[in-house]
Amino acid sequence: MIPVRGYKDCRVAVLGLGRSGLATARALVAGGATPLCWDDSPEGRARAEGEGFALLDPARPDAWDEIALLVVSPGIPHLYPRPNPVIAAAWEAGVPVDNDIGLFFRSFATPDWDSMDQIPKVVAVTGSNGKSTTSALIHHVLEAEGRATQLAGNIGRGVLDLDPAANGDVVVLELSSYQTDLARALTPDIAVFTNLSPDHLDRHGGLGGYFAAKRRLFTEGGPDRAVIGVDENEGRFLANVLAETPGDDRVIRISTQRKPSGAGWQVVARKGFLSEWRKGRQVASIDLRAVPGLPGEHNHQNACAAYAVARSLGLNPRRIEAAFHSFAGLPHRSQRIGEKDGVVYVNDSKATNADSAAKSLQAFGRIRWIAGGLGKEGGLGPLLPHVGSVAKAYLIGHSARDFALELGADVPHEICETMDVAVARAGAEAEPGDTVLLAPAAASFDQYKDFEMRGADFTARVRSLIDPDAPQG
């Protein structure tokens, strides 16, 4: 646990009592503060009371008396589409609002670091797609190298649940726009921007607000080094803002679409080969085509980002390459489930928007595509240029008929409604060499609690199809 510093003997309100909220309350107690908790759900309040935390009803007239800070969970909107009433009340009372990410950055470093041979570092990864795989890959490379490392944030543990830093520890954080948008302190040593595509636009008041939330990771605290994906205008803009000179190696530009140019530090992946360039010369390369855990161009971009971070931390290119080969990938992210009769089954349930699904469609050959769910603004528009490899689409969920209209006569498709029907139909019609791919291009909330549950359902049905006699569950 990371004890929260700076609020000893203070009363701190905590709004939202899920994983991060309860971890925040515990960390506040460890730092000598008194947390006062609230959640809209009776179940959340009961969990807090079960751990011995006091409740604070924000509707009480005296609720904000002597409150030093309000800490909110990332899922609670603070500005768009409209401020949560509790946050608006804190504004009126002049109470500062923060989240657990801000508290982490204010509390992680301690006087004990003065006696360490190697000062701990924080790597923070943000962007629209690839954050989780990039973060997990960095963590895996460091573990393979024998470095002390912890993984947290939007993946794995909550940030305040981390262990206090050890000598030379590297903390890798995956940070969503919900987390970077509100944090009052953002001071990573290395910050990564993977890419940008439209997502969460209602929460951020449009694409500009969404990018601004991501950009805060780089502009609020000023990382020592920034790894920037430059395949979109927003990334090129950000790299240009951060670099002082054309050859400023505090900025590492990564790309899967652009040839290396100029004197700066660049890591690019083209036609399956990753190459590192410095001062206009290639200094290292890796053949990514033989890395089973990183299929497709989108994963090659993730590899570029992880490679750049590892090189920034002083790791040797050949040792990074060896670690790539032992990376198994993450569940629900281009996860190979199995093969039967020459047909491969892949779970990319995390492809919850059209842009990420488009990247998945480009990673494989002839595809039997399972798509649908709760469609997002813009529908399938960004991926329609990439459906040439789709032999047939099997559409499920709330948006099945809307997706069918968008695909039209160009892509054979069938409305299956549910996962069991889609898997059965795709499996029955697939031919040797085909890939049955779950890449929904939609949220899961119409039929599932989250994308993990959707991916788990797909996985269970595929395994039953591959081996009907195997025990399920």
For the annotated binding site for ATP, the residues are 127-133
Q: Annotated binding site, which residues?
A: 127-133
Residue 62 CB-density burial (10 A; 0-12 exposed, 13-18 middle, 19+ buried): exposed
How many C-beta atoms lie closer than 10 Å to residue 280's C-beta? 12
Report the C-alpha gap between 437 and 458 in whole angstroms. 10
Report the C-alpha gap between 149 and 275 in whole angstroms. 26
What SS3 class is residue 407? Answer: helix
- Helix or strand (DSSP H, E) at 68: strand 67-72
What SS3 class is residue 58? Answer: coil
> Closest Cα partner for 14 from 77, 76, 60, 56?
56
Edge-to-edge strands, sheet with 170-174:
149-153, 170-174, 121-126, 190-193, 225-229, 251-255, 265-270, 273-278, 281-287
How many C-beta atoms lie closer than 10 Å to residue 410's C-beta? 11
What SS3 class is residue 142? Answer: helix
What would the two tokens of residue 253 be?
């530009």
Q: Which residues contact 183 (CB under 8 A, 6 or more apart)?
A: 98, 99, 101, 102, 105, 216, 220
What would the two tokens of residue 294 be?
């990183």
DSSP E strands in 102-242: the ranges are: 121-126, 149-153, 170-174, 190-193, 225-229
- Helix or strand (DSSP H, E) at 257: none
Report the C-alpha gap between 457 and 451 in whole angstroms. 10
